[in-house]
């Protein structure tokens, strides 16, 4: 058996739950049934909305359990590395415990998470281009014996704190058949799985990784943690690129199944949750729903609880997801129209688009294109439509006016 998984027991989770008795630090988050998602996957789906936690994620559970214990033993200064959510959890926990915290974040961390971490009372240092570089620097800061490093997942106290969420999920829905949990470093699923193994051992625990940050399958095959040299996913909250001996052992012992999801599937899940559940969830938080929508996990006829573990969605990422979705649905079009380059043509085409109720975002006038004859040009319109039928009507109207038009968003 890989790792020393005896280091986290259900009794540890119970003690952590006793420490987390302050609702201003960790609140009980709601569960809501999603009939629309349930209809898609032919199951009864209950969303565990941990993204509505004070810091927007579950991370405060583990951080407060760790830091409160350390403060009782005399530690007053903490350092951590994080892509965002662990940062906020450590910052809030340290401040609540009357301690100082320094958080090292990658330089490309979302600005919203950087700002929030500072607002919770931490000093933020931006170092490196990814989590691993930030981790190396943070550990160097903790070389002084008076400063304690708070690992995002490789710590029994962190895992036990995250396990309190498993206790809560069981209490929310004792008869759940399958629980679906995103995996970054594995601390969250490890704690939840230990809790369910004690409370409801027949419940299936499924872990989800992004394909661009997948490490668990290979780690299980090799019997040791595998670390990626590079990660590539929109789900920055689970882009750790590695797990630990501790979490690997717990996953091997207590988790039933591991599936992967693509960024495309994660983006669709973010949009579905926004449109149908009216919930704003980040990529890591939406990974569990992406797993339900994918083809690797069968939950037909089951009662299933996907965990929405994070809601700190960066606005730039939200825009990227929305633009991608609108393009796929033909609500955003790039129409390239061949014209005779004469005065009044742009006005005529703009009038045609206006008559069709299309909103022009911008227009580009291209003359230096190899396949154009002398005196010809392309007008490229980016237009907003109401959907597929409207888009087709716009193209037909331009063609009916005698202009060759190509929808370059589909080419």
Using alpha carbons, list the distances in angstroms from residue 11 to 6, 17, 158, 378. Answer: 11, 10, 14, 70
The tally of CA atoms less than 13 A away on the side-chain side of residue 329 is 13
256 CB-near residues (< 8 Å, 6+ apart): 204, 205, 206
83 pLDDT exceeds 80?
no
> How high is the pLDDT of residue 261?
98
**Domain identity same for 255 and 337:** no
In whole angstroms, what is the distance from residue 232 CA to residue 241 CA? 9
pLDDT at 74: 92
User: Does position 256 have pLDDT exceeding 80, yes or no?
Assistant: yes
Q: Do 258 and 314 have their domain in common?
A: yes
The arithmetic mean of pLDDT across residues 125-129, rounded, is 92
Element (H, E) at 69: helix 59-72
Last residue of a domain, one of 323, 348, 382: 323
- Which single residue is written with the structure tokens 């129409």? 335
Burial class (CB in 10 A: 0-12, 13-18, 19+), 191: buried
Percentage, residues of the chain above pLDDT 90: 84
pLDDT attached to residue 84: 78
Please tell me the predicted confidence (pLDDT) of residue 6: 56
Q: Going by DSSP bridges, is the β-strand pair 77-81/147-149 parallel, antiparallel, or unpaired?
A: parallel
pLDDT cut 70: percent of the chain above it:
98
What local confidence, expressed as pLDDT, does residue 1 receive?
41
Phi–psi pair at 380, nearest 5 degrees: -110, 110
pLDDT tens digits along 47-60: 999 999 999 999 99
Tokens of 362: 């911008």
- Is the pLDDT assigned to residue 72 strictly greater than 90? yes
For residue 5, is pLDDT > 70? no
pLDDT of 93 higher than 90: yes
Structural contact between residues 343 and 83, judged by C-beta atoms closer than 8 angstroms: no
Same domain, 89 and 235: no
What's the mean pLDDT in 335-345? 95
pLDDT in tens, 347-370: 999 999 999 999 999 999 999 888
The CATH number covering residue 362 comes to 3.30.70.260
Residue 4, pLDDT score: 54
Is the same domain home to 214 and 259?
yes
Domain residue limits at 233: 5-55+156-323
pLDDT of 20 > 50? The answer is yes
A 10 A CB-CB count for 118 gives 15
187 with 296, same domain: the answer is yes
Judged on CB neighbours under 10 Å (0-12, 13-18, 19+), 276 is middle
pLDDT at 307 over 60: yes
Q: What is the pLDDT of residues 207-226, one digit of tens each?
A: 999 999 999 999 999 999 99
42 and 100 co-located in one domain: no
Q: Is residue 47 located within the same domain as residue 107?
A: no
Confidence of residue 410 (pLDDT cuts 50, 70, 90): confident
- Going by C-beta distance under 8 Å and a sequence separation of 6 or more, which residues neighbour residue 278? none
User: Averaged over 32-44, what is the pLDDT?
Assistant: 97
Residues 298 and 337 occupy one common structural domain: no
Last residue of a domain, one of 134, 149, 164: 149
Say yes or no: 141 and 180 in one domain. Answer: no
Number of domains in the chain: 3
Q: Is 243 a residue whose pLDDT tops 50?
A: yes
Whether the predicted pLDDT of 281 surpasses 80: yes
Q: Quote the CA–CA distance of 341 and 374 in Å, as a whole number.
A: 9
What is the C-alpha to C-alpha distance for residues 281 and 309, in angstroms, rounded to an integer? 8
At residue 370, the pLDDT reads: 85
Q: Which of 127, 149, 171 is the last residue before a domain boundary?
A: 149
Within 13 Å and on the Cβ side, how many CA atoms surround 78? 34
**pTM for the whole thing?**
0.90
Residues 185 and 302 reside in one and the same domain: yes
The CATH number of the domain holding residue 254 is: 3.40.50.1100
Angle of CA points 345, 362, 333, to nearest 5°: 95
Q: Specify the range with the lowest mean pLDDT, choosing from 92-101, 276-285, 301-310, 320-329.
A: 320-329
Same domain, 172 and 262: yes
- CA atoms of 398 and 380, how far apart (whole Å): 13
Residue listed under structure tokens 């809601």: 311
CA–CA distance, 3 with 159 (Å, rounded to integer): 14
pLDDT in the model for residue 3: 47
pLDDT band, very low/low/confident/very high, at 203 (cuts 50, 70, 90):
very high
Calculate the average pLDDT of the chain: 94
Residue length, the chain?
411
Whether 99 and 230 share a structural domain: no
Kindly state the average pLDDT of the residues 317-336.
92
Q: Tokens in use for 366?
A: 């291209």
Instruction: Give mean pLDDT, residues 75-89.
Output: 91
pLDDT exceeds 70 at position 183: yes
Please give the average per-residue pLDDT across 59-67, as a whole number: 97
> Cα 409 to chain center, whole Å?
27
Q: Which residue has the higher pLDDT, 144 or 120?
A: 120
Q: Identify the pLDDT of residue 131.
A: 73
Query: Rounded to whole angstroms, what are the CA distances from 407 to 207, 335, 356?
Result: 40, 5, 16
pLDDT at 148: 95
Question: Which among 390, 364, 130, 148 has a CA at the least distance from the CA of 239?
Answer: 130
Q: How many of the other CB atoms lie within 10 Å of CB of 155?
A: 22
User: pLDDT at residue 312 above 80?
Assistant: yes
d(CA 158, CA 93): 12
Residues 6+ apart with CB under 8 A from 400: none
């Amino acid at each position: 058996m890989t790792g020393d998984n005896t280091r986290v027991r259900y009794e540890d989770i119970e003690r952590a739950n006793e420490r987390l008795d302050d609702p201003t630090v960790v609140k009980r988050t709601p569960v809501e049934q999603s009939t629309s998602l349930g209809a898609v996957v032919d199951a009864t789906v209950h969303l565990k909305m941990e993204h509505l936690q004070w810091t927007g994620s579950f991370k405060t559970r583990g951080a407060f359990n760790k830091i409160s214990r350390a403060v009782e033993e005399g530690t007053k200064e903490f350092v951590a590395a994080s892509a965002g959510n662990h940062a906020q959890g450590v910052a809030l926990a340290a401040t609540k415990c009357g301690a100082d915290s320094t958080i090292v974040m990658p330089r490309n961390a979302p600005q919203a998470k950087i700002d929030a971490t500072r607002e919770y009372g931490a000093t933020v240092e931006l170092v490196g281009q990814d989590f691993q570089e930030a981790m190396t620097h943070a550990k160097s800061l903790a070389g002084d014996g008076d400063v304690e490093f708070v690992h995002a997942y490789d710590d029994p106290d962190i895992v036990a704190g995250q396990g309190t969420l498993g206790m809560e999920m069981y209490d929310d829905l004792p008869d759940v058949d399958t629980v679906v949990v995103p995996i970054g470093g594995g601390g969250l699923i490890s704690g939840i799985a230990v809790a369910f193994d004690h409370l409801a051992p027949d419940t299936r625990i499924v872990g989800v990784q992004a394909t661009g940050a997948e490490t668990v399958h290979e780690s299980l095959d090799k019997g040791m943690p595998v670390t990626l040299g590079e990660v590539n996913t929109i789900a920055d909250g689970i882009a750790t690129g590695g797990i630990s001996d501790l979490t690997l052992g717990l996953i091997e012992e207590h988790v039933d199944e591991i599936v992967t999801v693509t960024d495309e599937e994660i983006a669709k899940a973010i949009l579905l949750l926004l449109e149908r559940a009216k919930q704003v969830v980040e990529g890591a938080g939406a990974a569990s729903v992406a797993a339900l929508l994918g083809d690797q996990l069968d939950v037909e006829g089951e009662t299933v609880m996907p965990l929405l573990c994070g809601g700190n969605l960066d606005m730039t990422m939200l825009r990227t997801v929305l633009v991608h979705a609108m393009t796929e649905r033909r609500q955003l079009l790039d129409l390239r129209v061949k014209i005779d380059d004469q005065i009044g043509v742009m006005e005529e085409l703009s009038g045609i688009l206006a008559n069709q109720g299309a909103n022009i975002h911008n227009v580009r006038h291209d003359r230096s294109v190899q396949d154009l004859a002398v005196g010809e040009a392309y007008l490229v319109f980016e237009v907003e439509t109401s959907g597929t039928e409207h888009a087709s009507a716009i193209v037909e109207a331009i063609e009916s006016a005698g202009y060759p038009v190509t929808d370059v968003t589909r080419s």
